[in-house]
Structure 1
Amino acid sequence: MSVTTATDTLLDGTHTVLTPEYVEFRFTLAGLYSRFLAWLLDAVIVTLLTGTILTTLSLVMFAFPGFASALSIVIYFLVDWGYAITLETVWSGRTVGKRVMSLRVIQESGVRIGFYHAALRNLARPVDRLPLFYLVGGLTALVSGSQQRLGDMLAGTLVVRERRLKVPSALGMPGDEGLLADPLFVSRVKRLSSEEREVVLTAALRREELRMEARLRLFAALGARLQDALAMEKPPHLSDEKWALLVAAALLPPKGQPRSTPQRRQTA
């Protein structure tokens, strides 16, 4: 489901995204302190990885002592960039440090980042780091109003807080277990894109926070979108919301396993 950003979206440490159904999603922006701690942990990991690689290559460096310093610097930057770009791409905008601090990088439109965004924001790190300890990046984030360093501005990304949500018991009992036992339905649900899955699960988990008018409007649009995505017609006895809840139930992890999601609030 596509989303568009609302104008004047950044107020009091939040970023607001307005969907085509006129439902607002508010993401809580990560502060500089938590981002610094996440970076510090990642820096320790990168340093350890670099040391391990250099130790492995020690024989080569011993044979060419004049080349050792330059090689160490090159390897450090390659590991640093590779670590951040790879993890943020495959781990939904998180590194180990961000995971520990419950942070995540997202696009300004509210959806998860891909390789392009991860690469852009991380390749700008040498400038953000100037002269030491991300002084340029930190000052830029302070004056930007959206906590964006230069790399984030270049890539169109934000760092937000996330919180763990336990799936409500009602979501696991949407009222049509027969459809959940249909292999065709389940297999088609599993083929939904990552963005479609996130929209469905977020709508299901946060539906009680919506006003009724916005809730009906959102699930009407989502129900129609799911029929197209699954190439299946909604059973006539199911409402749009129940239909979406069935899809969400088919996407759920094993019972009792929490799911992380960016911290946000919806308003109509």
Structure 2
Amino acid sequence: MAPETLLDGTHTVLTPEYVEFRFTLAGLYSRFLAWLVDSAIVLALSMMALLGLSLTMMAFPGIASALGIVVYFLVDWGYGIALETAWSGQTVGKRLLSLRVIQESGVRIGFYHAALRNLVRPVDRLPFLYLVGGVAAMASGSQQRLGDMLAGTIVVRERKLKVPSALSATGEEGLLADPLFVSRVKRLSTEEREVVLTAALRREELRMDARLRLFAALGTRLQDALAMEKPAHLSDEKWTLLVAAALLPPKAARGTRPPRAQALG
């Protein structure tokens, strides 16, 4: 077993359709490595900011140390909040380690969650090297530091899922070539796209009864969203797979991994 998976666990999300999705929690080892990468970037950005303020520091040498601390914390907070908001729960370090912050409900985080979990970092870092945060994570069933508990977030490991052949061989090439169908699929919201892709990629993990419930709900939801009736000869699952195939770029449809299908929409 690889070192980074030693402390990994699982987090289960139950959808309104009573379908379970399991997320692999990021272990403390991989989170620590991601933090080291982000810390190096924050330090470099802080030094650049201080160089830009060098004239001010020379004019007021008595406040140089205090100004340096303030600049570091502002850069540190701004870096985490900005990137986790813009990159849907990822920073440079998390992206390199294939980690992502999501809500406990399985959906992507927003500015509120990113801000809350990052503003609590100074407490989690006490007394050094995230000792408080590490102890809190080990005591938590979902490996949450204090910031995560307050924000209602978890850190998960992104799975490298490949597009199943069913998405590139739907047997309905005529519908996929229909400009009206494709244009309406492309207008789906980001959340709707992620729900469709996640369901398509992870359907083999579901029990048959849960699978049927999920795709029945998705089939109805997609007919409303697209303002189109499902062809009578298609099952709800096949209909959803067609929508997923229309969402994928040509390379992904031939079997490569599509962009981000981790968090539920």
Q: What is the TM-score with the length of structure 2 in the denominator?
A: 0.89
What is the CA deviation profile of residues 56-99 of structure 1, one whole-angstrom value per residue up to 9, with x for unaligned ones?
22222222222322222121111111111111111121111111
| CA drift at 1:178 | 2.4
> What corresponds to 2:238 in structure 1?
242
Map 1:88-237 → 2, pairs under 5 A: 88-237=84-233
1:43 partnered with 2:43:
no
Amino acid at match of 1:145: G
Is the Cα contact below 8 Å between 2:90 and 2:100 reproduced in 1? Answer: yes
Is the Cα contact below 8 Å between 1:42 and 1:96 reproduced in 2? Answer: yes
1:52 partnered with 2:48:
yes
Is the Cα contact below 8 Å between 1:89 and 1:118 reproduced in 2? Answer: yes
1:258 partnered with 2:257:
yes
Structure 1 stretches of 4+ with a deviation exceeding 6 A read none
> What corresponds to 2:4 in structure 1?
none
Q: Unpaired segments of 5 or more residues in structure 1?
A: 1-11
Corresponding residue to 1:28 among 18, 24, 30: 24
Is the Cα contact below 8 Å between 1:164 and 1:261 reproduced in 2? Answer: no
* C-alpha distance in 2 between matches for 1:68 and 1:178: 68
Q: Unpaired segments of 5 or more residues in structure 2?
A: 1-7
Provide the aligned length of Structure 1 versus Structure 2. 253
CA RMSD, 1 decimal = 1.9
What is the CA deviation profile of residues 167-186 of structure 1, one whole-angstrom value per residue up to 9, with x for unaligned ones?
12321222222222233322
* C-alpha distance in 1 between matches for 2:148 and 2:69: 24
* C-alpha distance in 1 between matches for 2:67 and 2:163: 49
Q: What is the TM-score with the length of structure 1 in the denominator?
A: 0.88
| CA drift at 1:215 | 1.9
Is the Cα contact below 8 Å between 2:10 and 2:23 reproduced in 1? Answer: yes
RCO (CA 8 Å, sep 6+): is it higher in 1 or 2? 1
Amino acid at match of 1:255: K
Identity between Structure 1 and Structure 2 (%): 81
